[in-house]
Structure formats: structure tokens, C-alpha cells
């Protein structure tokens, strides 16, 4: 497989193995050989087949398999769901188990629905419960404390049933973006609730401890609050739990209550799932898909993922037992948008939706056919007799495949895997394959990529670049214009045919996002990871209609994101600092400008010493009656350009502080800036002189906010949003490389270096 420059960067940063001196001992062929040999388990024929499959670029497994296969850890799964029962013993046992999973590189999902509501009686202590949200904060802090070997961050999903008595508090629990930063949250909606919404009726709240009715709420008001909060910052998402359990292949083992962090993998408690994705972009031939090759790739991929189950070392014995009893795998796709570009089919078209159904029906059918053959060869998954398949059920109707016959054949011959298909986030593996993520549209046709010396480079989608060459339109000026928004929709000199074909996420009407998700969901055992993108101007009613359409079309869950809604605004356009001030558009430009307040004659503050890669740094932060007002930075005997840059950082920080810019916003801009000489200081990594100033400001804030002690955490991924006319691709920046980040597949992701929040 040809590796792009970005793919090389991602592989070197996250996947290639190093020796004790930090030198690479692996390249792409060596990685593929390591993974293929390990998963084949000594079978030379399988090893040869798996090597060819991976090296072709037509299929890649999830990141833990690429990272850990053949290594000491040997933890190959990405998705886990852990149970939480209504006891302190269960809660903190799950905290411990989640930490072990995060340490091994996995993400975790939880249902907090079994925990009694706050202030409910606790008989054993004669006290009252603190409720599920307080325990979510415990899990969040534990995740903060666990590092995943520098390759993947801990990520969690929290789900609460809509009939839990504390549902209103849960819906608003992430109103403050600095709370529960390691969690995605979703509300579990039931058919009863959705009918009550349609009929504008009240529904019952059920106490999980007693099973009794604990009150009633207006379904419409609860639904509107979900919609309002999703409009505000993209959370909570929603999952349709009854619909998920209708597709549960092993209902005798219990109900599915939660999903993995990005929502595409509903799992029973203590289950894990091994995921992998077919690169559809490599399977285009002229004006069609190579259906014969697709069938071959599906069969080989099922073989590979089934072997992963046997080779994986699971972090807990209970997970190992459940995983090997159901043998769930999740085969999905990536490169869908790039395939459409090659076939000249607009994403926002019925032709694309119809093709999505045909592609996924073919993958799902062939995957189940191969799994049945493996059952004949090796045996069915142990829980097969209790599954829906043993009753001859497949819950599928299609245009291209004989599902009724396959259901009968499986009933007779068995099935190797309880589930076969999942549309997962492809994050960094799609960057390795140099293709679009999952079934998402391309977020941008031209990225601005930041490099070490602060030079900005343009990274152009290869299919778009080829089309521009074909039309004799490729030039630097045009690419720079496209990079401002990532789209060609509003570029007047762009031919209409290219504008129609090369649609990006924000060109697409949200209803078409949902139709595409529903098309893939129709033939997916598990669920589909997909973000429904909205422009910043979208109204609350737009979100509401999207949720209802997703329910109507058969989606299992929905994640929405209104552009810019998760970024904190640094400069308001009005004279105040609240969001409502930004609506003041009738003032002149001069009236909206701010001037720094005057420095008093006497200020008081603290001086901190920090160790940087350039030497001892002393940062003095003073305050006046309104708070912090000035920063001074001095470093040993350093002079010249370095001294001038430090003085510039201090002066601009002081100017911002006296101009009513929140100190948190300055911290976010400075922390995480990297140079070539990082240094440890008191258990923390100082990545540059700018980062040191940011840490000094953070320390100051933790000690002195209006004279009171406080404790805060500022996270690099919560970068502040710029002014309204700043290009979308630069709204938030990657904490690793400084390039613009995007919100796709339910998570924040950097298209330049592969950083991901999840």
C-alpha cells in the first residue's frame, strides 16, 4: 500500500514500534507482518492471506489490533461495556475495571440507569444516595488519572434511561463544557416515551431501586430540553434502546443498556467487540464498484476478525468469557465519500442512498454467509442455541440477496459470530489508508496543515485534485480560496458539475445526513457512527426535526453537531462577555472594539519558577481590584530573539487580561504549544516556553480567583473559537500539532496528525 505523508506521520507517532532509545524498529511492511503473523496464530496460509489483505489497503482493523498484536499487551479490542449495579461495591469495582481498560487502550460504555436517584434512601447506612451524576464525576476523574501509553486517551459513554427520576439533571449535566470532559452522554429513549412525545402526554418516571413510579413528566418538555442542549453543544445524543434490543441477537442473556463511546457498538454488560473497516475507495473501477473484489475482501476480513477474538488478551476474565461466548465482530466501511467522488455521485442524492443500501446489503449478506461457513468448520458461537438465529430469524429484507434462504441455512448450520457488521469511526486508520472517515462526507477538500516551523501547508483531497487537473483548474490561488471554508459550494469560478459532486459535510442538508445513516443502518447488525452536521445558524427546531426523522427512518441513535457550538468564544462582538452580547449587530465597528483598562500604580502578585527546555523561567502574575492584570516573564540570562518572544508573550497576555479576556481563554491558547525541547517539571510536562506561561497562569487561577481558592482544569481540546469571519477549518485547533480539528463520527479529530479526543 502506498503511504501518504500524513499516513507516515500517524504511523510513526502512534503505531510503529520503537526500541528503548526511541528509534524506530518498524516500518509499514514490518507492522503488517507483525499483525498478520500474530492474528494467524501460526497458520502460514492464513498469515499469507492476512498480510495481502492488510497491505492492499482494502481493509484495516481497529487501532488496538494494529498497535498491540504481537506486543506484550496483546489487547486487541476497541469497545467495551461494563455493568454498574446499585451498590458502592459495584460502582467502585467498575471504576477499577474501567481504569484497566483505559490503560490497555480501550474505550468504555456504561449505563447509569440502575443507580438510585439522588436523595433516595440508603438503608444500609441510614443515609441518602448522591445519585448517578455524582458518580459520573468519579469515573471522569479516574479517566483523567489514567494515561494510555501515549497512544489513545480514555473515552467513556454514559447512558441514562429517559424514565430515570434524575433525567432532567442528566440532560443538562454537560451544560458547563469543563464538566465531564471524558464522557459522551446519550439519553436512552423508549418506544413508550416516543409515543408520549407524539401524543404530547406525560410519562412515568421509575425509581430504579424500588421499581415504583416516582413521578411524571411531560414527554414533550423532556424531548425539547434534549433538543435544546444538543443545539447548544451537541450533547446529549439519543439512542433508541427498544430498537437496539429488537436487534439483540441473544436476548436470553439480558438487555443491551449501553454502547461504546462513539455509539456504534451496543453491547451487553462485560462484552467487547473487535472492529475493522473495508476501504471502499480502493474498490472503484471506472464508473462502478468492483463487486467481485468486495466479496473477496468481506470474506477475508471476517476470517481476520474472527481470529482476533482468539488471539486477544482481554483486560478482565469476565470480558474474555463473554466475548468468546458470543464472538461478536463489527465489519464496517471507510472511504464512502471518496468512492462517491470517483463515481461522480453527489452525497446528497437518492442515487447515493440507494448505492449505500446495496453496498451494505452485500457486505452484511456475504459476512453472514462466511460466518456460517466458519461455524461449519470451527463451530458456532457458544450461545448460538439461545440466539435469534437458532429460531431462523435474521430480521432482514433486501433487494439483492436471498435473506430467507440464508436464515434457514444458518438455523441448520450455525453461525460463528453473534454480530457481523458495525459502521465504526475510522479515525486514524482512515488516515493511514488516505481516505475519508467511515460513511461521513469529507469535512474539507483542502486542509491547512501546520508544520513545526509554523509554516502553513495545504493538504488537498486527491480525488478533488485529480478533478481540478482534468478540468485544467488546479492552481495555488484556487486551493487557498477553497481552504478558507473547505468547500467549493460558493466559489463562483467552480463549474457546477464539480460543485455538485464534491460536496462536504456542511454543504449537505442534515436530512440527507440522516437518510445516509439510515441506509447503512438497514443492513448493519450493530449501529452506525455518524455525525449530523448543522451550520452555526441552525435553529432548535432543525435539531428537533432531525431527531424525529432519525427515529422515523430506523436509526438506532443520533449524534448532532452545530458548527462552532462546542468552542468557547474569546472575543465577543459586543462590549460585554456573555454570548447574548454577540447578537448586538447594530453597533458600529468602532463601538464594538475594546480598550484595556489602565494599570494601577501598585499591583500585587506571585512569582513562579518553572523548568523549561530552555532553562529556568520566572513568571510573575500581578492583579488589581478586577483580577489578574499583567504578566512578566524572565528566563536566566537568555537574550536576543528568545528574550524578545518571551516579552511579547507577556505583553500580549497583559493586554488581554486588561481587556476583559478571561484568563481561562489565554490559558487555552498557550497550553499545549510544543517545541523541540520539552521538560518535566514537578510531575508535569512543559512542552515549550509558551506552555510554561500557560501553566503558570493556570496555577495562579487555581490559587486566586476573586480571593477564593478554586480548582479548575483547562483542557487543550476546548480551544476557544475565533471571530465569526474566521474559516471553519480553524475554529478549534489540535493540541498536538496546532492544525484545525473537525467533529466527525461523534468525536473530535485532527486530519493532520491523527489526534483524537476519543
Q: Each residue of 478-488: pLDDT tens digit? A: 999 999 889 99
Q: Domain of 223? A: 79-258
Residues 253 and 377 in one domain: no
Indicate which residue of 38, 68, 260, 533 is catalytic.
Answer: 260
The Cα–Cα gap between 61 and 55 comes to 12
Residues 123 and 184 in one domain: yes
Q: Is residue 446 part of a domain?
A: no
Cα 116-117-122 angle, rounded to 5 deg: 55
pTM of the model: 0.79
Torsion angles phi and psi, residue 140, rounded to 5: -65, -45
Residue 472 CB partners (closer than 8 Å, separation 6+): none
Confirm if 478 and 484 have CB atoms less than 8 A apart: no
Indicate which residue of 79, 262, 273, 689 is catalytic.
Answer: 262
Confirm if 665 and 638 have CB atoms less than 8 A apart: no
Active-site annotation holds for 260: yes
Residues 83 and 68 in one domain: no
Q: Is residue 461 part of a domain?
A: no
239, 258, 277 — which closes off a domain? 258
Task: Examine the pLDDT at 358 and tell me if it is beyond 60.
Answer: yes
* Residue (of 105, 122, 217) closest to 161 by Cα position: 217
Residues 135 and 229 in one domain: yes
Confirm if 108 and 102 have CB atoms less than 8 A apart: yes
Task: Examine the pLDDT at 723 and tell me if it is beyond 70.
Answer: no
pLDDT tens for each residue of 628-637: 899 999 886 5
Classify residue 496 as exposed, middle or buried by CB count within 10 Å of its CB (0-12, 13-18, 19+): exposed
Torsion angles phi and psi, residue 620, rounded to 5: -105, 130
Residues 325 and 200 in one domain: no
pLDDT band at 677 (very low <50, low <70, confident <90, very high): confident
The Cα–Cα gap between 162 and 719 comes to 32
Confirm if 450 and 738 have CB atoms less than 8 A apart: yes
Grid cell of 261 as nine digits: 463511546
Active-site annotation holds for 264: yes
Q: According to the model, what pLDDT value does residue 145 have?
A: 84
pLDDT band at 668 (very low <50, low <70, confident <90, very high): confident
* Residue (of 86, 292, 107, 230) closest to 558 by Cα position: 230
Task: Examine the pLDDT at 208 and tell me if it is beyond 80.
Answer: yes
Q: According to the model, what pLDDT value does residue 643 have?
A: 80
Q: Is residue 469 part of a domain?
A: no
Q: According to the model, what pLDDT value does residue 739 have?
A: 67
Classify residue 96 as exposed, middle or buried by CB count within 10 Å of its CB (0-12, 13-18, 19+): exposed
231, 258, 285 — which closes off a domain? 258
Residues 86 and 222 in one domain: yes
* Residue (of 366, 358, 356, 401) closest to 518 by Cα position: 356
Residues 57 and 140 in one domain: no
Q: Is residue 510 part of a domain?
A: no
Task: Examine the pLDDT at 298 and tell me if it is beyond 80.
Answer: yes
Residue 571 CB partners (closer than 8 Å, separation 6+): 661, 722, 723
Q: Is residue 423 part of a domain?
A: no
Residues 253 and 269 in one domain: no
Q: According to the model, what pLDDT value does residue 28 have?
A: 98
Task: Examine the pLDDT at 728 and tell me if it is beyond 90.
Answer: no
Q: Is residue 753 part of a domain?
A: no
258, 275, 300 — which closes off a domain? 258
Task: Examine the pLDDT at 705 and tell me if it is beyond 80.
Answer: no
Q: What percent of the chain has pLDDT above 70?
A: 87
Residues 101 and 224 in one domain: yes
Q: Is residue 335 part of a domain?
A: yes
The Cα–Cα gap between 257 and 113 comes to 8
Grid cell of 475 as nine digits: 492552481
Q: Is residue 333 part of a domain?
A: yes
Quote the mean pLDDT of the chain.
87
Domain count, the chain: 3
The CATH code of the domain that includes 252 is 3.20.70.20
Indicate which residue of 117, 235, 264, 366 is catalytic.
Answer: 264
Distances in Å between the alpha carbon of 254 and those of 148, 241, 387? 31, 13, 11
| E strand segments, 241-355 | 258-259, 266-267, 271-279, 284-285, 288-289, 329-334
Q: According to the model, what pLDDT value does residue 185 have?
A: 97
Residues 36 and 119 in one domain: no
The Cα–Cα gap between 594 and 73 comes to 55
Instruction: Tell me what the mean pLDDT of segment 375-398 comes to.
Output: 96
Q: According to the model, what pLDDT value does residue 604 have?
A: 84
Residues 151 and 48 in one domain: no
Lowest mean pLDDT among 104-118, 492-506, 573-587: 573-587
Residues 225 and 132 in one domain: yes
* Residue whose grid cell is 404530547: 200
Amino acid at each position: 500500500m502506498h503511504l501518504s505523508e500524513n499516513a507516515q506521520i500517524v504511523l510513526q507517532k502512534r503505531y510503529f514500534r520503537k526500541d528503548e532509545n526511541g528509534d524506530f524498529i518498524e516500518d509499514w511492511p514490518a507492522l503488517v507482518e507483525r499483525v498478520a503473523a500474530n492474528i494467524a496464530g501460526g497458520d502460514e496460509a492464513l498469515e499469507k492471506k492476512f498480510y495481502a489483505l492488510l497491505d492492499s489497503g482494502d481493509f484495516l482493523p481497529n487501532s488496538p489490533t494494529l498497535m498491540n498484536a504481537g506486543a506484550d499487551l496483546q489487547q486487541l479490542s476497541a469497545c467495551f461495556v461494563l455493568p454498574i449495579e446499585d451498590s458502592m461495591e459495584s460502582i467502585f469495582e467498575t471504576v477499577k475495571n474501567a481504569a484497566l481498560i483505559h490503560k490497555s487502550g480501550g474505550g468504555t460504555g456504561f449505563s447509569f440507569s440502575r443507580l438510585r436517584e439522588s436523595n433516595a434512601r440508603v438503608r444500609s447506612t441510614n443515609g441518602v444516595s448522591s445519585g448517578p451524576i455524582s458518580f459520573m464525576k468519579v469515573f471522569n476523574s479516574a479517566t483523567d488519572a489514567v494515561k494510555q501509553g501515549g497512544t489513545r486517551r480514555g473515552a467513556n459513554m454514559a447512558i441514562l434511561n429517559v424514565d430515570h427520576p434524575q433525567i432532567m439533571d442528566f440532560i443538562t449535566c454537560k451544560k458547563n463544557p469543563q464538566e465531564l470532559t471524558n464522557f459522551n452522554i446519550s439519553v436512552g429513549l423508549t418506544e413508550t416515551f416516543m409515543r408520549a412525545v407524539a401524543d404530547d402526554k406525560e410519562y412515568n418516571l421509575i425509581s430504579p431501586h424500588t421499581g415504583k413510579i416516582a413521578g411524571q413528566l411531560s414527554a414533550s418538555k423532556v424531548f425539547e430540553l434534549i433538543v435544546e442542549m444538543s443545539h447548544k453543544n451537541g450533547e446529549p445524543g439519543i439512542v433508541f434502546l427498544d430498537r437496539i434490543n429488537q436487534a439483540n441477537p441473544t436476548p436470553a442473556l439480558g438487555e443491551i443498556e449501553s454502547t461504546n463511546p462513539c455509539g456504534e457498538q451496543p453491547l451487553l454488560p462485560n462484552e467487547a467487540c473487535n472492529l475493522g473497516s473495508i476501504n471502499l475507495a480502493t474498490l472503484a473501477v471506472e464508473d462502478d464498484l468492483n463487486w467481485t473484489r468486495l466479496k473477496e475482501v468481506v470474506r477475508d476480513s471476517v476470517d481476520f476478525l474472527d481470529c482476533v477474538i482468539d488471539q486477544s488478551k482481554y483486560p478482565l476474565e469476565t470480558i474474555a468469557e463473554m466475548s468468546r461466548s458470543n464472538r461478536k465482530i463489527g465489519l464496517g466501511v471507510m472511504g464512502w465519500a471518496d468512492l462517491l467522488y470517483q463515481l461522480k455521485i453527489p452525497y446528497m442524492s437518492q442515487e447515493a442512498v440507494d448505492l449505500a443500501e446495496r453496498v451494505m446489503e452485500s457486505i452484511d449478506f456475504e459476512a453472514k454467509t462466511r460466518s456460517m461457513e466458519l461455524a461449519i468448520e470451527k463451530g458456532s458461537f457458544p450461545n448460538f442455541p439461545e440466539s435469534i438465529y437458532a429460531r431462523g430469524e435474521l430480521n432482514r429484507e433486501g433487494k439483492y440477496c436471498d435473506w430467507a434462504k440464508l436464515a434457514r441455512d444458518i438455523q441448520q448450520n450455525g453461525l460463528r459470530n453473534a454480530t457481523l457488521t458495525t459502521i465504526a469511526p475510522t479515525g486514524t486508520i482512515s488516515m493511514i489508508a488516505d481516505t475519508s472517515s467511515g460513511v461521513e462526507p469529507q469535512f474539507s477538500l483542502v486542509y491547512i496543515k501546520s508544520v513545526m516551523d509554523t509554516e502553513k501547508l495545504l493538504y488537498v483531497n486527491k480525488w478533488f485534485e485529480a478533478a481540478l487537473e482534468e478540468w485544467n483548474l488546479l492552481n495555488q490561488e484556487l486551493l487557498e480560496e477553497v481552504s478558507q471554508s473547505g468547500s467549493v459550494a460558493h466559489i463562483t469560478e467552480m463549474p457546477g458539475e464539480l460543485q455538485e459532486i464534491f460536496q462536504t459535510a456542511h454543504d449537505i442538508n442534515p436530512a440527507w445526513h440522516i437518510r445516509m445513516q439510515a441506509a447503512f443502518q438497514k443492513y448493519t447488525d450493530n449501529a452506525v457512527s455518524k455525525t449530523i452536521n448543522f451550520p452555526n445558524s441552525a435553529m432548535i427546531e432543525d435539531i428537533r426535526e432531525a431527531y424525529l426523522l432519525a427515529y422515523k427512518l430506523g436509526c438506532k441513535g443520533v449524534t448532532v453537531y452545530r458548527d462552532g457550538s462546542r468552542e468557547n468564544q474569546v472575543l465577543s462582538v459586543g462590549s460585554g462577555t456573555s454570548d447574548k452580547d454577540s447578537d448586538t449587530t447594530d453597533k458600529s465597528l468602532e463601538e464594538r472594539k475594546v480598550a484595556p483598562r489602565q494599570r494601577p500604580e501598585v499591583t500585587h502578585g506571585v512569582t513562579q519558577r518553572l523548568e523549561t527546555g530552555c532553562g529556568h523561567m520566572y513568571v510573575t502574575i500581578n492583579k488589581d481590584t478586577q483580577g489578574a492584570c499583567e504578566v512578566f516573564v524572565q528566563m536566566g540570562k537568555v537574550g536576543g530573539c528568545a528574550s524578545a518572544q518571551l516579552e511579547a508573550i507577556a505583553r500580549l497576555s497583559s493586554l488581554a487580561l486588561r481587556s476583559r479576556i478571561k484568563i481561562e481563554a489565554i490559558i487555552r491558547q498557550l497550553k499545549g504549544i510544543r517545541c523541540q525541547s520539552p521538560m518535566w517539571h514537578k510531575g508535569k510536562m512543559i512542552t515549550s516556553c509558551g506552555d510554561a506561561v500557560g501553566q503558570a497562569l493556570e496555577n495562579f487561577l487555581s490559587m486566586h480567583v476573586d480571593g477564593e481558592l478554586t480548582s479548575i482544569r483547562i483542557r487543550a481540546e476546548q480551544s476557544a473559537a475565533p471571530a465569526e469571519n474566521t474559516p471553519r477549518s480553524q475554529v478549534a485547533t489540535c493540541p498536538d500539532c496546532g492544525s484545525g480539528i473537525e467533529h466527525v463520527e461523534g468525536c473530535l479529530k485532527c486530519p493532520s496528525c491523527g489526534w483524537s479526543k476519543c
